[in-house]
């Protein structure tokens, strides 16, 4: 575990920004010490890296949160996009260096302004944004959450974690039990009402994400106890009949 100041030092993100990320539900601390200090583990560090990748693509924080919590989010695809964008920026910087050297050698009459053209970068960033923003779930979530306050964000998080806590209370039962299936349907209804239309297919995708390791699994298991995320995923599979 590392403190917020240690995370700030290794990431270059200010402690103030990290506290803001916490307040809007974008990057929650893994735990809070008895003295009230935010603590972060490697899973939180991985999520911060993903956040910073999207910041390089100039996504607003609210959209980054929607993307990272979307059932269709693909970390590998996001990384590929980031590599391409950095390569384009590298090329742009190299062109600027050559331009500056040209001015030094030829003087101010060196009037070629092509080095300042960021068209390729801008076009790629736009395409990357459209890849995520074209999903109906993404657009619906942004519309429903556009007026949310940080307090509303925290309230929604507490309510959904309350559902997972109830999954934890029955995780010694069969995931095909009526109680487990009913709770999976309740989760589906909650997501549909407050975030986006959660079809059986989308719910199944969420279930796989919940049990796939990383931050989602850790948070759910923290709410309901070890194995809760896996149990919830199996209950979702039983409710939807999908695999």
Whole-number Å distance between alpha carbons of 121 and 105: 28
Q: Above 60 in pLDDT, residue 107?
A: no
Q: How many domains does the chain have?
A: 3
Domain contains 164: yes
Q: Please, which pLDDT band fits residue 111 given cuts at 50, 70 and 90?
A: low
Domain contains 229: yes
Domain contains 67: no
Tell me, yes or no, whether 129 and 201 share the same domain: no
Residue 38 backbone phi and psi in degrees, to 5: -70, 135
Written as six digits, the tokens of 14 are 């200010």
* Cα→Cα distances 12→15, 49, 54, 65, Å: 9, 11, 15, 20
Q: Please, which pLDDT band fits residue 103 given cuts at 50, 70 and 90?
A: low
Q: Please, which pLDDT band fits residue 108 given cuts at 50, 70 and 90?
A: low
Q: Please, which pLDDT band fits residue 124 given cuts at 50, 70 and 90?
A: low
Q: What is the domain extent for residue 22?
A: 1-57
pLDDT (tens digit per residue) in 31-60: 988 888 899 998 899 899 889 888 877 788
Tell me, yes or no, whether 163 and 214 share the same domain: yes
């Amino acid at each position: 575990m590392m403190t917020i100041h240690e995370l700030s030092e290794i990431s270059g993100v200010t402690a103030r920004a990290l506290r803001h990320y916490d307040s809007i539900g974008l990057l929650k601390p893994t735990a809070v010490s008895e003295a009230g200090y935010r603590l972060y583990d490697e899973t939180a560090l991985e999520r911060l890296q993903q956040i910073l990748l999207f910041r390089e693509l100039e996504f607003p924080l609210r959209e980054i949160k929607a993307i990272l919590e979307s059932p269709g989010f693909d970390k590998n695809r996001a990384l590929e996009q980031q590599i391409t964008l950095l390569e384009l920026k590298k090329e742009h910087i190299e062109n600027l260096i050559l331009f500056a050297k040209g001015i030094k050698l030829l003087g101010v009459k060196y009037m070629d302004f092509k080095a300042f053209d960021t068209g390729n970068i801008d076009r790629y960033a736009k395409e990357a944004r459209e890849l995520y923003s074209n999903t109906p779930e993404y657009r619906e979530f942004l519309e429903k959450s556009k007026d949310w306050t940080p307090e509303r964000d925290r309230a929604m998080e507490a309510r959904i974690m309350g559902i997972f806590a109830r999954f934890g209370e029955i995780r010694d039962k069969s995931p095909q039990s009526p109680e487990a299936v009913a709770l999976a349907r309740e989760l589906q209804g909650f997501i549909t009402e407050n975030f986006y239309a959660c079809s059986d297919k989308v719910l199944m995708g969420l279930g796989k994400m919940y049990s796939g390791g990383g931050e989602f699994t850790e948070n759910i298991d923290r709410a309901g106890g070890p194995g809760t995320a896996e149990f919830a995923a199996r209950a979702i599979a039983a409710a939807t009949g999908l695999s």
